[in-house]
């Protein structure tokens, strides 16, 4: 008989393949498809790969390895992991979790949009392919008709895809002050996505480890299909040339390097505790060192290949409209919900390519959403395992959290919801917070815990000692890059605007900074609290809070040193 008071085991990944798929599903997301290609094009084409590779080597890979190794060594999620390694830095774990809570609220809205577009993709005639609908204005111009008569695009005109997105799907209001009514179609799609997320991860690693065999691999099938189709279109070569044509002069621009830093940190999913939590489900002797290199290579390669798929299609659009690539190039939602749908509407069998594209977008986003939720849930469970690691408790906690996030996200499903979503994206999960966490994490692990000690631990777990370059990065290079980028990010801060036309009211920016500080302040506040409530002198408290837990596993090197001191114990 099952004992309802029995504490369940934490669980582990069933195989290394399962872990690789899980992490690949998390790090390979929407940013690889809709942000990296555009950044590469805008910041010097092939020349952008220089700062990108430099940042990957000095920050991306070292942080990636550090976070996975921290979770694997402690077998704890992002909060309790820090409690075991360096208690005074426990606020880093709380900050990461708070950021992921904000992320969970907003990210699912993008999935809801993609699901709605997927439903529209089954129509006999794609609704964003032409004008003449009730939501279209007199400025809408059917570009098929323009091409038929070899006319050029009127600068005052709008495309059917743009009007479908802004007037039919979002019904955008005049500003954040005008939230308007709830868009019921998006609401239903959001409910569907939350239901899918819930049942895919409700059993923890038992269910998530099985789901990723499909959700982490099928997007690559779709990407390959879209890549092949894109490369066969007229004008594809023109788009790829624009994508990769190097402009070395832009390497002298600090902004180019800052955008490379931001892209790497977000696409590698470092600084927010996700990798720590996923690594905590690894068996102790998993070769995290080898896995790290393969996963980082996969992430970078996916970004590069996605650029070919995207810009081959944008080149086709530019060719058909007889305009430059700059006229059609978009990033973010503008690419996914305007530019690409507009392009597939011009192809033969447009429904097929639209279905492939939006399935890929949904699956890429779903994996990221899974593991952002998982970070929050497992971090809370690890805080009070005797209470929450009992039959049915995890499922209940997940249900409560999902309902909470969904209720807040309803604000983003209104006619003014896009303005609210952008506030979340700009402030609550911005690059400054990630840079701050990542730099501080390296300083603590490199100097207080000890970089060489961390290398000993990785060697003991993986059987391979990391290069001394990693120790150098954790102590010097990565904190330096993070600090410089953080200063540059704050110095270049500009109040939030929408479409470069709508300026947010001042109170929105104040509220946005409050959201940023709500997570970032957890680090100093908790450190001060622990110092004030500890026992002994201030020096004794500092020493105690900088020491790791006594119940952590001993490495082979530590066991040998211990045996020399106490030979009778052996």
**Residues annotated as binding site for Na(+)?**
25, 28, 32, 267, 299, 364, 367-368
Residue 61's Cβ-count burial label (10 Å; 0-12, 13-18, 19+) is buried
> Do residues 199 and 6 lie in contact, with contact meaning Cβ atoms separated by under 8 Å?
no
Give the separation between CA 252 and CA 256, rounded to whole angstroms. Answer: 8
Q: For 192, what's the count of Cα atoms within 13 Å in the CB-facing half-sphere? A: 16
d(CA 132, CA 134): 7
Alpha carbon distance 451, 473 (integer Å):
9
Query: What span, in angstroms and rounded, lies between the C-alpha atoms of 271 and 536?
Result: 33
Spacing of C-alpha 491 from chain mean position: 24
- Nearest alpha-carbon partner for 433 in 476, 474, 486, 479: 486
Q: Rounded distance, CA 194 to CA 287, Å?
A: 34
Structure tokens at 561: 């040193």
CA distance 469 to 144: 56
CA neighbours closer than 13 Å in the CB half-sphere of residue 286: 27
- Residues listed for the chain: 570
Annotated binding site: 25, 28, 32, 267, 299, 364, 367-368
Tokens 């495309």 belong to residue: 159
- Whose tokens are 């907003």? That residue is 106
Letter string b/e over residues 198-236, b meaning 16 or more CB atoms within 10 A of that residue's CB: bebbbebbeebbebbeebbeebbebbebbbebbbebebb
Measured over the CA atoms of residue 243, residue 249, residue 252 and residue 254, the dihedral's sign is negative
Residue 216, CA distances (Å) to 115, 140, 197, 354, 478 in order: 18, 39, 14, 20, 29
Q: Which two tokens stand for residue 89?
A: 């830095």
């Amino acid at each position: 008989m099952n004992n309802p008071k029995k504490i369940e085991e934490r669980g582990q990944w069933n195989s290394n393949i399962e872990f690789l798929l899980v992490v690949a599903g998390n790090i390979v997301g929407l940013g690889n498809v809709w942000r990296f290609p555009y950044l590469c094009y805008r910041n010097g084409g092939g020349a952008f790969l220089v700062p990108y590779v430099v940042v990957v080597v000095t920050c991306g890979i070292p942080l990636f390895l550090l976070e996975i190794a921290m979770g694997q060594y402690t077998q704890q999620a992002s909060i309790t992991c820090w409690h075991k390694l360096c208690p005074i830095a426990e606020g880093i774990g709380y900050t990461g979790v708070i950021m992921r809570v904000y992320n969970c609220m907003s990210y699912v809205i993008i999935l809801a949009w993609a699901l709605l577009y997927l439903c529209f993709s089954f129509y006999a005639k794609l609704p964003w392919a032409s004008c003449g609908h009730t939501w279209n204005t007199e400025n809408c111009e059917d570009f098929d008709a323009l091409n038929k008569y070899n006319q050029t695009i009127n600068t005052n005109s709008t495309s059917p895809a743009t009007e479908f997105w802004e007037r039919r799907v979002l019904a955008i209001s005049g500003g954040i002050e005008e939230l308007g009514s709830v868009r019921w179609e998006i609401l239903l799609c959001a409910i569907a996505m939350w239901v899918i997320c819930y049942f895919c991860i409700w059993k923890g690693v038992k269910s998530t480890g099985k789901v990723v065999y499909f959700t982490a691999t099928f997007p690559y099938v779709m990407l390959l299909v879209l890549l092949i189709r894109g490369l066969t279109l007229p004008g594809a070569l023109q788009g790829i040339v624009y994508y990769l044509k190097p402009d070395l002069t832009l390497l002298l621009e600090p902004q180019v390097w800052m955008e490379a830093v931001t892209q790497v940190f977000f696409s590698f999913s470092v600084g927010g505790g996700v990798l720590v939590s996923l690594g905590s489900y690894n068996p102790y002797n998993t070769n995290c060192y080898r896995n790290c290199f393969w996963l980082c290579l996969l992430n970078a390669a996916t970004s590069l290949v996605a650029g070919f798929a995207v810009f081959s299609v944008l080149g086709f659009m530019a060719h058909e409209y007889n305009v430059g690539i700059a006229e059609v190039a978009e990033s973010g939602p503008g690419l996914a919900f305007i530019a690409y749908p507009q392009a597939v509407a011009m192809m033969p069998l447009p429904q097929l390519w639209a279905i492939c594209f939006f399935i890929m977008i949904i699956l890429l986003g779903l994996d990221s959403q899974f593991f952002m939720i998982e970070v929050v849930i497992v971090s809370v469970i690890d805080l009070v395992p005797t209470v929450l690691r009992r039959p049915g408790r995890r499922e209940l906690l997940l249900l409560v959290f999902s309902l909470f996030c969904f209720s807040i996200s309803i604000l983003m499903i209104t006619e003014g919801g896009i303005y609210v979503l952008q506030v979340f994206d700009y402030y609550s999960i911005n690059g400054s917070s990630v840079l701050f966490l990542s730099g501080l994490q390296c300083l603590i692990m490199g100097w207080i815990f000890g970089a060489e000690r961390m290398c000993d631990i990785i060697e003991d777990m993986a059987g391979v000692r990391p290069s001394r370059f990693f120790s150098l990065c954790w102590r010097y290079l990565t904190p330096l890059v993070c600090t410089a980028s953080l200063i540059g990010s704050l110095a270049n801060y500009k109040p939030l605007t929408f479409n470069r036309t709508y300026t947010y009211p001042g109170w929105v920016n104040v509220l946005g900074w409050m959201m940023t500080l709500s997570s970032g302040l957890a680090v100093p506040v908790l450190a001060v609290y622990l110092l004030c409530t500890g026992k002994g002198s201030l020096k004794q408290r500092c020493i105690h809070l900088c020491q790791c837990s006594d119940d952590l596993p001993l490495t082979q090197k530590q066991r040998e040193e211990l045996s020399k001191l106490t030979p009778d114990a052996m």
